């Protein structure tokens, strides 16, 4: 869009749309991760899971 000299507002709107879509994908993947991987590791008494999970959530919340 920038190479085609589109209006800046149009480019910014597209960027916003892409960010929203990626946020939705991240939320869905995080839910799945909690239901599967995190739950299994908690049941297996994996002591590292909480720290790893907090790091992952921190990346998403940036």
Q: Is the residue at 32 inside a domain?
A: yes
Q: Is the residue at 2 inside a domain?
A: no
Alpha-carbon distance values, 9 to 17, 23, 60 (Å): 12, 21, 26
pTM: 0.72
Q: Is the residue at 33 inside a domain?
A: yes
The total number of structural domains in the chain stands at 1
Q: Is the residue at 3 inside a domain?
A: no
Q: Is the residue at 1 inside a domain?
A: no
Q: pLDDT (tens digit, 9 = 90+) per residue, 21-52?
A: 999 999 999 999 999 999 999 999 999 999 99
Note down the domain range covering 54.
8-61
């Amino acid at each position: 869009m920038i190479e085609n000299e589109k209006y800046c507002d149009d480019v910014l709107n597209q960027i916003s749309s892409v960010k929203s879509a990626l946020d939705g994908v991240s939320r869905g993947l995080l839910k799945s991760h909690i239901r599967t991987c995190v739950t299994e590791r908690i049941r297996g008494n994996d002591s590292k899971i909480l720290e790893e999970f907090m790091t992952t959530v921190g990346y998403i919340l940036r």
